[in-house]
Amino acid sequence: MRKTYLALAAAGLILASCQKDNEPSAQLPPTAPRSAMTLLGTIDASAPESRTHLDEEAGGGGNSSLVKWDLYDAVALYMTGAFDRRVQELADSVAQGLQPSIQFVTPEFYVVKSAESIDNTTATFTGTSAVTPLASDTYVAVYPYRSVSTDAWQIGRTHIRMTLPEQQSHPFLFKDLGMMIAKTPDSGSEQVRLSFKNIFPILKFSLTGSRTLAAIRFRGNDGEPVAGDFRLDISGDAYMEADFSESTVEEVSLTCGVQLSATPQTFYMVVPPQTYAKGYTIDFVADDGSVMTQVVNKDTPKTLLRSKIYEYPTLAFTPQSTAEAACDWLWQDETGVVSNVGFDELPGAVDLGAAANCFIVSAPGNYKFKAVKGDGSAVDGVDGYVYFTAGAAKGNAVIAALVNRQVAWSWHIWRTDAPAEKEAAAGCTILDRNLGATSVTPGDVSSYGLYYQWGRKDPFVGAKDTGKDAPIGGASETAAFGTQTAAYEKNTIDQTAYAFDVIGNDDNTIIDCVAYAVQHPTTFIKYVASVGNSGVSTWFNSDLSNFSDLWGAVSGRKSVYDPCPAGYKVPVDSAEAWGGFAKADVTSSAGSFGVTLNEAFYPCSGWRDVSGMLKQVGTYAKAASATAPTNQANILQIMYYKATAAATTYTTMFSNSGKSFIAGGIPVRCVKE
């Protein structure tokens, strides 16, 4: 009999659980004696985090935890050929008049490690098999060991059935709630490599506080199944994809019973990998019944991927009813654009009217606006009005409401003369200036305005000067918010300085990129990598299709993230807003650093690239639209430049269907609703 060695290469994180099998039916025909087998399990050097014991001290890089093999870890090994032979035995017994009942018998393989294996990179599994493996067998291995039930032999041939508990417990134990699966054909050699795929994502929370945390509850906002029975189809290549379609469990709970303190306590929860159509909600429940709720991607899709830890920033447990709210400015073009910001009433404050994410202020004085989101919906933990004083200086400022020292929502104050209305395409009324511009004078850098990453409501600071109109590259930066960026005043609130900075879209601290953008309005989310099909050169960290309506292109309505003032919105599509125009309609003159189209001035303010650096300042005029059919959004794009500084003639190029990568930041020209 062949002694088989299996090299087990584990890849990813180990999560989830499975059900124990029944003993073999007494009606089955006798089986062959069990045969001794040995599996040699080697951890891939390329996946050092793929182990079975959570080691908090061994962390590094993006995640603070490593997972290692432990003594007496066990895996279950299945051989499809062995199953086929058992089925044949069943067929023979049926022919003899016995009842057609079968249970799939699984051997156990335990890890045995010597003291020298301290790095846990190699483990030897020993066990017995009820059948002799054949060269034609396909091996399926599961960690941790559970005998896996099959409710009928037809299902057992192609599926493994398991259960993700709806009631989980702290501290988190991979022995109780871990799972990875491997599948490979027998190569006929003495050593077969099994590469494990991890089935589930894990949520990692760190909390501080003074209460005793009783439980953490998780639920999808669209009623998705989040625990209970699932199955794996081991007949094809998608054998690691858990199918919860038969489950009706809509909430999973982690029992904690931990006294919180100033030192962060860490908790783990396992949930299904899937797209949560309307995001998901997490409740942190204290033993006195008080609750702190975190909503991720409210009413927009959020995808959790298998084999990944989603690590939340440290949260201070504060029940919703006692949440501490504050209000202040984060940044402004110069001191005095806004002052006296807060929830306290100011005398004679003028109400700025309808809900929006941007408010135009055309004269000095005291003002107020309702502290709600751009679509009028409530901001969690915030109520009432925001008050501020507008100074004589024109410019821009961003005001934020903070709950428990974290930005809950923010609003752009646009201190400028009342913008006039102009016409773009027939029937399309636009403002006469870029969003954030305080001038429409050609050659004036104040006409350039601010820059917006596609789909985000908060602006990024503009250029310090008009740049260069030759050659086509204009003036550009070599670092984000560098030498071409205008000076501004930043505020420091509770030791957090709200300066413009950048973070990679693949950073592990970003769980929900849209929520992160709201909470960090001065942070440019630069493109580093495509994460979960997020696409090249986007600021997203999950499937690109989840974000198509951020600016209302799909619904056709002004969205909650629209950056325009009340009564205006981002154009749905640049091809429509500026339809019917051509290069011949564009006029300009030397030194204007911009062009005129149908009596409206468009400054060559350039753009911020996917890393946040200003590019082509002085040669490119751009305007965003809400439509992004791919990883690039449709934009208005006009170029006006000289080939060289000494040239006396300018080149003009025009497109109402230009393209701009989603992670880039470009100007916005608002259209009337």
Domain with CATH 2.60.40.2630 in the chain: 35-55+65-316
pLDDT at 418 over 80: yes
Q: Which two tokens stand for residue 665?
A: 């930041």
455-to-21, 369, 408, 530, 624 alpha-carbon distances in Å: 50, 23, 18, 17, 10
> Are the C-beta atoms of residues 312 and 203 closer than 8 Å to each other?
yes
The pTM for the full model equals: 0.68
262-to-210, 215, 265, 293, 326 alpha-carbon distances in Å: 8, 19, 9, 20, 22
CATH class of 35-55+65-316: mainly beta
Task: Please state, in angstroms and rounded to a whole number, the distance separating the CA atoms of residues 7 and 4.
Answer: 10
pLDDT by residue (tens digit) across 516-558? 999 999 999 999 999 989 999 999 999 999 999 999 999 999 9
- Check residue 343 and give its pLDDT: 95
pLDDT at 46 over 60: no
- Span 6-14, mean pLDDT? 37
pLDDT at 1 over 70: no
- Span 97-101, mean pLDDT? 47
- Check residue 669 and give its pLDDT: 98
Query: In the chain, what percentage of residues exceed pLDDT 70?
Result: 75
Query: If you average pLDDT over every residue of the chain, what do you get?
Result: 82
- Check residue 128 and give its pLDDT: 54
Secondary structure letter of residue 278 according to DSSP: T
pLDDT at 91 over 90: no
- Span 194-219, mean pLDDT? 89
- Check residue 337 and give its pLDDT: 97
Residues 6 or more apart in contact with residue 427 via CB below 8 angstroms:
none
Confidence of residue 231 (pLDDT cuts 50, 70, 90): confident
Greatest Cα pair distance in the chain: 100
Confidence of residue 345 (pLDDT cuts 50, 70, 90): very high
Give 12 or 619, the one with higher predicted confidence: 619
> Are the C-beta atoms of residues 668 and 623 closer than 8 Å to each other?
yes
Give 470 or 239, the one with higher predicted confidence: 470
Task: Please state, in angstroms and rounded to a whole number, the distance separating the CA atoms of residues 133 and 139.
Answer: 9
- Span 71-96, mean pLDDT? 59
- Check residue 86 and give its pLDDT: 52
Give 147 or 359, the one with higher predicted confidence: 359
pLDDT at 22 over 80: no
- Span 93-102, mean pLDDT? 51
Give 108 or 302, the one with higher predicted confidence: 302
- Check residue 661 and give its pLDDT: 98
- Check residue 36 and give its pLDDT: 45
- Check residue 13 and give its pLDDT: 32
Token look-up 């969690």 returns 380
- Span 259-263, mean pLDDT? 95
Confidence of residue 116 (pLDDT cuts 50, 70, 90): very low
Task: Please state, in angstroms and rounded to a whole number, the distance separating the CA atoms of residues 319 and 323.
Answer: 6
Instruction: Give the neighbor-by-neighbor strand order of the sheet with 607-608.
Output: 452-453, 665-666, 607-608, 614-615
pLDDT by residue (tens digit) across 387-401? 999 999 999 999 999
- Span 334-339, mean pLDDT? 95
Instruction: Give the neighbor-by-neighbor strand order of the sheet with 325-332.
Output: 358-361, 406-415, 395-403, 325-332, 489-490
- Check residue 532 and give its pLDDT: 87
428-to-224, 246, 359, 452 alpha-carbon distances in Å: 41, 50, 21, 22
pLDDT by residue (tens digit) across 571-596? 999 999 999 999 999 999 999 999 99
- Check residue 322 and give its pLDDT: 66
pLDDT at 317 over 60: yes
- Check residue 297 and give its pLDDT: 81
- Span 264-285, mean pLDDT? 94
> Are the C-beta atoms of residues 192 and 177 closer than 8 Å to each other?
no
